[in-house]
Amino acid sequence: MGLVERSVWPRMIRHTVTFRLKHPPGSSAERDFLQAACALTSIPGVEKFECLRQTSSKNNFTFGLSMEFADAAAYAGYCDHPDHTAFVQQRWIPEVADFLELDYVAHHPCQTLTP
């Protein structure tokens, strides 16, 4: 028994982005953007979608989006989907002031695995 690199198995990907909008807080434009972002759940492969509000004063971001994909193929399908690319071009680029995107896979450095 020994440590086995988990990349030999399909890995769930958690796609996250934290961001600040150009719109005034509480505005109808802010609500409209967030509702449009929630429509991304209709893209095949999106699982466990969440729209989040930042509560910490440790950074200047106000919202977050989080979603999971079964594997890299599902994530690539989402990234290339026409609804996603349209959202990025028509909403994200013109309306987001700043953001940080992070994509994760599970990491268990202390777990002993068997092939």
Q: Is the residue at 56 inside a domain?
A: yes
Q: What is the mean pLDDT of residues 38-63?
A: 96
What pLDDT, on the 0 to 100 scale, is given for residue 89?
A: 98
33: its two tokens: 């953007």
Q: What CATH number does the domain containing 23 carry?
A: 3.30.70.100
Task: Report DSSP state, residue 59.
Answer: S
Q: Is the residue at 93 inside a domain?
A: yes
User: The domain containing residue 93 runs over which residues?
Assistant: 11-105
Q: Identify the band that residue 110 occupies on the pLDDT scale cut at 50, 70 and 90.
A: low
- Burial, 34: exposed, middle or buried (Cβ in 10 Å; 0-12, 13-18, 19+)? middle
Q: For 57-78, what is each residue's pLDDT tens digit?
A: 999 999 999 999 999 999 999 9
Helix, strand, coil percentages for the chain (3-state, nearest 5):
35, 30, 35
Q: Is the residue at 112 inside a domain?
A: no
Q: Model's pTM, two decimal places?
A: 0.83
Q: Is the residue at 113 inside a domain?
A: no
What pLDDT, on the 0 to 100 scale, is given for residue 71?
A: 93
Structural domains in the chain (count): 1
Q: For 3-28, what is each residue's pLDDT tens digit?
A: 444 444 568 999 999 999 999 999 99
Q: Is the residue at 15 inside a domain?
A: yes
Task: Report DSSP state, residue 24.
Answer: P
Q: Is the residue at 5 inside a domain?
A: no
